[in-house]
Amino acid sequence: MVFVNKKLYLSLMLFLTVVILFSPKIFAQNYYADIEISVDKTGIVDIEGTTNLPDLVVQNTEKYTYKKQSYWLLNITRKEVFSDYIYELNLPKGSIINYIDSSGFSGIEENDGRLIITGSGNNEKLSIKVQYQIEEKSEELSTYDLILWIFLLLIITLTILLIYFIYEDKTKEKKDSEYKNEYNLKGLSKRQKEIINLLIDKKRPLTQTDIQKELDIPKAAVSRNVHSLEIKELVEIEKTGMSNLVRLKKQ
């Protein structure tokens, strides 16, 4: 009887040992996860989705990331065995992956400048280890390029405006010169030449009072010289009330 009880006792102990050793795997088969993991440039991790493992879904945590110099390490390793899991890991924009050591790893794709790692597995532990770098130069370079393009555009615009104004001045000078050449100023007195040049520059008829004020000469001198220019058929005089309107005569 004692022998039977001892045999039964040993069998029971063996059974309990087997149950204790294999129970984690047996019970772990009930864990499942369908999650999306997002990591920002500062190493903040968000995990959301559907799972029956309560502490797997988290927001704004830094416990899964570590940075050394310019290298980031993301390490999400769970000791539980999942009967079924699928994940999508979104790395920060500008990330360059150095290595991946993950369970259920299936592939990498890119969307809108972000690298996306996807994985799935059955009856195994969930482990995601990724070392990556964030290429800051690309953003700095684009800013530098933008400033450079704005500077070049400004230089081109100023150059075009400068050429335009120089061309306009030369064209104006040429037209004025051609216009003045239409009138024979030979044999004219200094004041008569001044009156003709004033009418050419103003490009409109002037009263004798206007000519007097512009050239600062006596009224009688204006009247005498304008009358002389009329005789030489260089100007025309038109009565406008109490004033005389003086205009160049077409040659």
What distance in Å separates the CA atoms of residue 161 and residue 155, rounded to the nearest whole number?
10
Q: 231 vs 25, which has greater pLDDT?
A: 231
Residue 131 sits in the same domain as residue 141 = no
pLDDT of residue 168: 78
Question: Could you tell me if residue 21 is inside a domain?
Answer: no
In the chain, the largest separation of any two C-alpha atoms, in whole Å, equals: 160
Counting Cβ atoms within 10 Å, is residue 132 exposed (0-12), middle (13-18) or buried (19+)?
buried
Residue 191 sits in the same domain as residue 227 = yes
CA angle (128, 133, 138) in 5-degree steps = 140
pLDDT band at 15 (very low <50, low <70, confident <90, very high): low
At a CB cut-off of 8 Å and minimum separation 6, what does 202 contact? none
CB 47 within 8 A of CB 37: yes
Question: Could you tell me if residue 22 is inside a domain?
Answer: no
Residue 66 sits in the same domain as residue 125 = yes
Residue 77 sits in the same domain as residue 150 = no
Which of 71-85, 108-122, 228-242 has the weakest average pLDDT? 228-242
What distance in Å separates the CA atoms of residue 191 and residue 154, rounded to the nearest whole number?
47
Residue 38 sits in the same domain as residue 130 = yes
Residue 69 sits in the same domain as residue 146 = no
Instruction: Give the mean pLDDT of 214-233.
Output: 89
pLDDT of residue 63: 94
Residue 38 sits in the same domain as residue 86 = yes
Res 122 pLDDT > 70: yes
Residue 234's domain comprises 184-248
What distance in Å separates the CA atoms of residue 247 and residue 229, rounded to the nearest whole number?
11
Q: Which one of 135, 170, 201 terminates a domain? A: 135
Here the CATH number for the domain that contains residue 207 is 1.10.10.10
Residue 142 sits in the same domain as residue 118 = no
At a CB cut-off of 8 Å and minimum separation 6, what does 14 contact? none
CB 98 within 8 A of CB 133: yes
Question: Could you tell me if residue 230 is inside a domain?
Answer: yes
Across the chain, mean pLDDT equals: 84
pLDDT of residue 2: 44
Res 27 pLDDT > 50: no
Question: Could you tell me if residue 6 is inside a domain?
Answer: no
Q: Which one of 126, 156, 181 terminates a domain? A: 181
* Model confidence pLDDT, tens digit, residues 63-107: 999 999 999 999 999 999 999 999 999 999 999 999 999 988 778
Residue 56 sits in the same domain as residue 121 = yes
Kind of pairing between the strands at 71-90 and 31-39: parallel
Residue 60 sits in the same domain as residue 121 = yes
What distance in Å separates the CA atoms of residue 42 and residue 44, rounded to the nearest whole number?
6
What distance in Å separates the CA atoms of residue 142 and residue 149, rounded to the nearest whole number?
10
pLDDT of residue 251: 66
Q: 84 vs 26, which has greater pLDDT?
A: 84
Question: Could you tell me if residue 176 is inside a domain?
Answer: yes
Q: Which one of 135, 162, 193 terminates a domain? A: 135
What distance in Å separates the CA atoms of residue 88 and residue 11, rounded to the nearest whole number?
47
Residue 126 sits in the same domain as residue 33 = yes
Here the CATH number for the domain that contains residue 103 is 2.60.40
- Kindly state the DSSP code that residue 52 receives in the 8-state scheme: S
pLDDT band at 185 (very low <50, low <70, confident <90, very high): confident
Res 201 pLDDT > 90: no
Ranked by mean pLDDT, the top range of 3-17, 113-127, 142-156 is 113-127
Question: Could you tell me if residue 18 is inside a domain?
Answer: no
pLDDT band at 179 (very low <50, low <70, confident <90, very high): low
Q: How many domains does the chain have?
A: 3
Question: Could you tell me if residue 3 is inside a domain?
Answer: no
Tokens of 113: 């400048």
pLDDT of residue 175: 59
pLDDT of residue 105: 76
Residue 47 sits in the same domain as residue 123 = yes
What distance in Å separates the CA atoms of residue 32 and residue 57, rounded to the nearest whole number?
12
What distance in Å separates the CA atoms of residue 225 and residue 231, rounded to the nearest whole number?
10
Number of neighbours of residue 124 by Cβ within 10 angstroms? 14
pTM: 0.48
Question: Could you tell me if residue 49 is inside a domain?
Answer: yes
